Amino acid sequence: MKEQGFFQSKKGKTVIAVVAIALAIIIPLMMDNNIIFTQNKYFYVLLCLIGIYTIVTSGLDILFGYTGQISFGHAGFFCIGAYGSVLLSHTQWGLGKATGYVLTPILSIFIAACIAAAVGALLAIPASKLVFHFLSMLTIAFNQIVYLIANNFSWLTNGSIGITSVPAVTLFGISFATTTSKLKYYYLVLFFVVVFLLVKTHIVNSRVGRGLIAIRENPTAANGCGVNVAKYKIMSFAISAFYVGFAGGLYVHMIGFISPDTFVQNTSVIFITMLLFGGSGNLVGPILGAAVITIIQEGLQFLADYRMLIYGIVLLLIILFQPQGIAGLGNTISGAVSKRKRGAANG
Amino acid sequence: MGEKLLEVKDLTINFSGLKAVDTLNFSIDKGEIFGLIGPNGAGKTTTFNMISGALKPTSGEVWLNGQRIDGNYMYQTNKLGIARTYQNINLFRSMTVLENLLVGQHCRLTCGLAPAILRTPRERKEEAAAVEKAKETLEFCGLHEKIDVYSNSLSYGEQRILEIARALVSDPYLIILDEPAAGMNPTEKNSLADLVQRIRAKGVTVLLVEHDMKFVMGITDRICVLNYGKRIALGTPAEVQANPEVIEAYLGGGD
Ligand SMILES: Nc1ncnc2c1ncn2[C@@H]1O[C@H](COP(=O)(O)OP(=O)(O)O)[C@@H](O)[C@H]1O
Ligand SMILES: [Mg+2]
């Protein structure tokens, strides 16, 4: 039976969501006014990163957790969103260099995310016919190609040196420059996190979402039930790429600088690690995964490349012992407890 | 003779040299319960796969309501009015019974991505109606008490009924059942026979494959017998049972 507890009910979930959003708004504000903790600007950067990676991981979840399609190349979409937005908004590069006109950063992020979605759809046309291991290879190759373009097309991207002075986001006359206030940018990110999560719940609980889940569960039966499997896989890739592309844009306008290094294959592996660690196929898992791995990632800066080794081990342990991720810990624990109870009753 | 619903003309498929189905011809009238029988490996499932669009025939044609449908994909055939079950149960295992029936209505629902994201009033109304329709169908099939149960925790017989319900909920002209009674106990088989009769009474035409001869003979109007991909008999249950070639195919065994 589906669990019927208050927190599993629709009302309960809404209450949790509202409380979580309220806390996400209030706590940083209190910190900014020195009511709790001490003021530490870096903390906001960390919060922004968690928000941005929550969008990434949620987007990846639509593809992996709901549609059952793997991608080891999502850093490629992150790259397209990031470079795309820079090239559309920067006065000295891309559009600005060519025409003298630029787009305002939120619009540039949106359009770059649309480009990422279009590329995702194109990639999905061959990908929709592939099974797991070939899909892994295709997406790795895609990531590599995007990285090489960013690294080698110097006339477009300034190559490995990268592009500085990425313009700040301005909305309705309010500047979200992170040089002046990181708290404001955090609220901007939080706004988009809420929007993207809401859209995700709407999608996965609709006819379209059921089509995606049906493909994950049983592609033959999905086809027999009228789901155009190839089309839905393409749609899933495109939606997923839009999420990740948008997050790439938010990322680059926060950092103010872009270079190809951010978008290497390892970044895709980190995305997958976040998702598997947090737990896929639900709303909360990607948030938890993004938060925990981002904190570990920043906390372990000093380990440099050894971090990938740690992710590898974490991934292995998760896959072996906690396939539902930390979001599923509750289930695992209650399962273990009830098993013990049943054992006691039998014994 | 009633009006023809499905026509299968010279249907043939070649699996690297093996003619699994060989110039097969039959037609099904509206409102009929039509049986397809034959020994294991005779090509029954393969025939179903070609009718439903899971396989493209090498040659030959399939017509539904005067429209040619062979070579379509399954999702297209489903929309045109053929729904099916599978010999090896193909449920959406980690979905509930209700969710399985909502997916079953996919081809009859119209809301795409934009109405879903915006949760438009039209989308909500359509979803609510789909839930109602699922409930009605579950009631009809006798599975309504299991509506919130995950489909993988149903008993084997219930899973077979759920597959039928999921097919039925798409309002097909023709429902195709591949060994629906397999693995069922006698009580379950009886209520299945009753369900199939009631499905026909609703106006849905039934095409089924079944090994249980008592079941098939008791329920079908006409039967087509396959052996090595070829039709060896076609007629009423009594005619087919009296056919020497059929007796030979079933009793003669491997040669
Ligand atoms: N996809 C396939 N590729 C190759 N051979 C197949 C395929 N599907 C079925 N066959 C072969 O076709 C024959 C008919 O199979 P099938 O239609 O499943 O028989 P039935 O359902 O009557 O028991 C068998 O010999 C089977 O091995
Ligand atoms: Mg068969």
Residue of B nearest to A210 (CA): B103
pLDDT of residue A300: 73
Q: d(Cα B226, Cα A346) in Å, to the nearest integer? A: 52
Provide CB contacts within 8 A for B232, sequence distance 6+.
B225, B226, B243, B245, B246, B249
List the domain boundaries for chain A. 40-346
Asked if residue A116 has pLDDT above 50, the reply is yes
- 3-class SS at A197? helix
> 3-class secondary structure for A7-35?
HHCHHHHHHHHHHHHHHHHHHHHHHHCCC
Asked if residue B255 has pLDDT above 70, the reply is no
Question: Of A209, A210, A224, which has the smallest distance from its Cβ to B78's Cβ?
Answer: A224
Cβ burial of A180 (10 Å; 0-12, 13-18, 19+) is: exposed
pLDDT of residue A4: 56
Among B202, B146, B215, B150, smallest CA distance to B171 is for B202
Asked if residue B84 has pLDDT above 50, the reply is yes
Q: d(Cα A49, Cα A219) in Å, to the nearest integer? A: 35
Asked if residue A330 has pLDDT above 90, the reply is no
- Residues framing ligand 1 (Cβ under 6 A): B 15, 20, 38, 40-46
CB–CB of B90 and A214 under 8 A? no
CB–CB of A221 and B93 under 8 A? no
pLDDT of residue B252: 65
Q: How many CB atoms lie within 10 A of CB A20?
A: 14
| Whole-number Cα distances in Å, B137 to A198, B101, B111, B164 | 31, 8, 21, 10
CB–CB of B99 and A221 under 8 A? no
For CA atoms B172, B177, B178, B184, give the dihedral sign. positive
CB–CB of A203 and B79 under 8 A? no
pTM value?
A: 0.91
| Nearest CA, atom 10, ligand 1 | B20
Strand partners, B26: B8
Asked if residue B42 has pLDDT above 50, the reply is yes
pLDDT of residue B8: 96
Question: Of B106, B126, B130, which has the smallest distance from its Cβ to A225's Cβ?
Answer: B106
| Torsion of the alpha carbons at B130, B136, B140 and B142, rounded to the nearest 10 | 90
Write down the number of H helices and E strands in chain B. Answer: 10, 10
Ligand 1 atom at minimum distance from B87 CA: 21
Q: d(Cα B130, Cα B136) in Å, to the nearest integer? A: 10
Mean pLDDT of chain A: 86
